[in-house]
Amino acid sequence: MADPKVIVITGASSGIGAALAQHLGAGPPDGERARLALSARREPELRETARAAGGETIAIPGDMTRREDVERLRDEAIRTFGHVDVWINNVGRGISRSVFERTDADVDEMIAVNVKSALYGMQAIVPHFKERGRGHLINVSSFLSRVPVVTFRAAYSASKAALNALTANARMELAGTHPGIDVSLVMPGIVTTDFHRHARHGTPSFGSGAPPPGAQNADEVAAAIVALIARPVAEIYTNPQQAAVVVRYYGGVAAFERELAAQAGGR
């Protein structure tokens, strides 16, 4: 039986990160639990996630928008477990404001949280992967990085589109020199977590209060990421139906956007 993987998860205090820690900590019925290094800013919630995950799990509180905290996370994971197999950049925050009302602070925060935190993680762990000749880097993005279906999330979507580009270019750069290193992008859609409650400037109501059609819960997204770790690929949409929407959008951008505008006008 192969040794259990050592997996680092950022943004692990709640939502997708916490659900993923529990899935990986439980392990498959016939396999070993993963060994986990978890990080987030909210220490009490992070330690509760680590407790719930069980097994060989360590909690390392930190702010992933600070490079020194990211490097400390890497160093503590390697010191404790000897190496890292998988690094998951899962930190993210939303925003609710029109494109034309964005402030410098709005944009700067989206870039710091959704782009720089992942970039720091990539730069911290990839040299370790290169030394080992293998590893798996996973960046958690969003379906909204591809299709403009929620315009009040424009700055968030733009930051995640930047993350997409960084991820793709990192994958191409490593493919020629270190083919044993996998680089994956994960694109959830709407997920029923506290993400919407913590978004900068709040989040408009869903109307009836019920989640929109097609919304997933954190466990469903976590299960998709667990499957990705078992069989790495370049990109996944955690809701498979959204891949078809993206193909349709890029196949006829103007027509798709006219349809969206007509639907919005009819509400």
**pLDDT for the residue 94:** 77
**pLDDT for the residue 142:** 94
Pairing of strands 35-39, 135-140: unpaired
**pLDDT for the residue 207:** 46
Domain assignment present for residue 93? The answer is yes
**pLDDT for the residue 31:** 60
CATH number at residue 208: 3.40.50.720
SS3 223: helix
pLDDT of the chain, 267 residues: tens digit per residue: 568 999 999 999 999 999 999 999 987 655 668 999 999 999 999 999 999 999 999 999 999 999 999 999 999 999 999 999 999 999 988 787 888 988 999 999 999 999 999 999 999 999 999 999 999 999 999 999 999 887 788 899 999 999 999 999 999 999 999 999 999 999 998 776 555 555 555 555 544 444 555 778 899 999 999 999 999 999 999 998 889 999 999 999 999 999 988 887 655
- b or e along 10-19 (b: 16 or more beta carbons within 10 Å of the residue's beta carbon)? bbbbbbbbbb
Domain that residue 10 falls in? 6-265
pTM of the full structure: 0.90
Is 249 catalytic? The answer is: no
Cβ proximity of 20 and 90 under 8 Å: yes
**Which entry of 120, 156, 249, 250 is annotated as an active-site residue?**
156
Q: Which residue reads 């880097």 in tokens? A: 137
Cβ proximity of 6 and 55 under 8 Å: no
Type of residue found at 25: G
Structural domain count of the chain: 1
**pLDDT for the residue 255:** 94
CA nearest neighbour of 36 among 23, 93, 234, 116: 23
Domain assignment present for residue 1? The answer is no
